[in-house]
């Protein structure tokens, strides 16, 4: 129970990495607030956490709306008195396409959902964590921000690379207040959304991608969630401003 009584907020928690992270944090003792726009999915997740003996709070909202982000975090603090852990997982991949075919509005939305959302959440959570003298912020970046994306477009990679730069800046700014800010960079993770993209590829394309991964398989959401839980724990108390690659060895720096 490394996170006993810590209060966490996970965005983009309705499915995939976010849902897996919420469950892992709860199993390790955290009180977990889950956020997304689909209330029914959040309610199912919260029920699942409670059935396994954890505590969960549903705080739906749009992470691109500053007022709604403020409302979400206010609700968490009102319910549990503090906010110790913020996992910025909200985001979405794109279709692959040549740059000249990307509509400007799609570029703007992709960058906003994957990068601006983290800014709004950190901007709102930072004063709470500063007052506490403690905090853990984990931004979910991507292999695409470290190298390039095999299944999404350049707008996604640009946003995820920006998230890594934001992580480093926040680590410097918030570190003196006892707040550690880190990122994780998963490669292809078999979430429901990615499964559809994966299965749409030919067997030859799939084998070519797997050949570039020393472990010869794709990641499961829980394998990302456990690394996030580590960064949220006291075991990572001197880890600040880093991005941990979770890619089976497919990209090494």
Q: Which residues contact 83 (CB under 8 A, 6 or more apart)?
A: 7, 8, 9, 73, 76, 77, 125, 128, 129, 132, 135
User: How far, in Å, CA of 131 to CA of 142, rounded?
Assistant: 31
User: How far, in Å, CA of 198 to CA of 207, rounded?
Assistant: 11
In terms of Cα–Cα distance, which of 70, 182, 167, 85 is closest to 132? 85
Helix (H) / strand (E) containing 139: strand 135-140
Catalytic sites, residue numbers: 156
User: How far, in Å, CA of 140 to CA of 219, rounded?
Assistant: 15
What does 1-26 look like in DSSP terms, one character per residue? -TTTT-EEEESSTTSHHHHHHHHHHH
User: How far, in Å, CA of 129 to CA of 6, rounded?
Assistant: 12
Instruction: Give the burial string for 213-231 (b: 16+ CB within 10 Å, else e).
Output: beeeebbebebbbebbbbb
User: How far, in Å, CA of 133 to CA of 152, rounded?
Assistant: 38
Contact between residue 58 and residue 39 where contact means Cβ atoms under 8 Å apart: yes
């Amino acid at each position: 129970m490394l996170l006993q009584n810590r209060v966490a907020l996970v965005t983009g928690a309705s499915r995939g990495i976010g849902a897996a992270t919420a469950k892992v944090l709860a199993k390790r003792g955290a009180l977990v607030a889950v956020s997304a726009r689909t209330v029914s999915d959040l309610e199912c997740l919260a029920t699942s956490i409670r059935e396994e003996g954890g505590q969960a709070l549903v705080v739906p909202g749009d992470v691109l709306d500053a007022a709604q982000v403020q409302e979400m975090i206010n609700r968490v603090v009102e319910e549990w008195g503090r906010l110790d852990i913020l996992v910025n997982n909200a985001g979405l991949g794109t279709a692959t396409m040549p740059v000249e075919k990307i509509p400007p509005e799609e570029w703007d939305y992709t960058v906003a959902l994957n990068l601006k959302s983290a800014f709004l959440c950190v901007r709102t959570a930072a004063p709470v964590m500063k007052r506490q003298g403690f905090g853990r912020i984990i931004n979910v970046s991507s292999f695409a921000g470290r190298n390039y994306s095999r299944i999404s477009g350049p707008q996604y990679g640009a946003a995820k690379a920006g998230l890594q730069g934001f992580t480093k800046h926040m680590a410097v700014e918030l570190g003196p207040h006892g707040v550690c800010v880190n990122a994780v960079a998963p490669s292809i993770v078999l979430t429901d959304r990615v499964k559809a993209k994966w299965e749409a590829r030919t067997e030859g394309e799939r084998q070519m991608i797997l050949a570039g991964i020393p472990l010869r398989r794709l990641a499961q959401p829980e394998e990302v969630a456990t690394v996030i839980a580590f960064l949220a724990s006291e075991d990572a108390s001197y880890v600040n401003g880093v991005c941990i690659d979770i890619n089976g060895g497919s990209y090494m720096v």
